Amino acid sequence: MSKGKHIPIRQCMACRQRRPKRELLRIVLTPAGPVLDPTGRKPGRGAYVCPDNPACWAEKKLRRFAGAKALELSQALQLVLGSVKASKPST
């Protein structure tokens, strides 16, 4: 009896919502600062954030993971994910 394929579940570091790994965006801390990892395969300490919830991109929410680099990370998320949301056609 096969139960089906295992779906890894991860938790958003900002809102603490549990979702399938594919639905979240991974962020990796590097010596140069936080880096967005859409492939989910870069080495290093990683955390996940909801790409469709702008409240999760707030500096205060990201401070838990990124510390002093939270402002830089927040601005990068708003720049990258904000432009993705703006480019989607509204139906």
CATH numbers and ranges of domains, the chain: 9-85 (3.30.1230.10)
Q: What is the pLDDT of residue 63?
A: 92
Q: What is the pLDDT of residue 27?
A: 94
User: What pLDDT digit, counting tens, does each position of 37-69 carry?
Assistant: 989 899 988 999 999 999 999 999 999 888 888
Contacts 24+ apart (CB under 8 A), 52-55: 52/85, 53/12, 53/14, 53/15, 54/78, 54/81, 54/82, 54/85, 55/14, 55/15
Alpha helices in 1-91 (DSSP H): 59-66, 70-87
Q: What is the pLDDT of residue 84?
A: 67
User: What pLDDT digit, counting tens, does each position of 2-27 carry?
Assistant: 688 999 999 999 999 999 999 999 99
Contact 10, 47 (CB under 8 A): no
Residue 2's alpha-carbon distances to 5, 6, 7, in angstroms, are 8, 11, 14
pLDDT band at residue 87, thresholds of 50, 70 and 90? low
pTM: 0.82
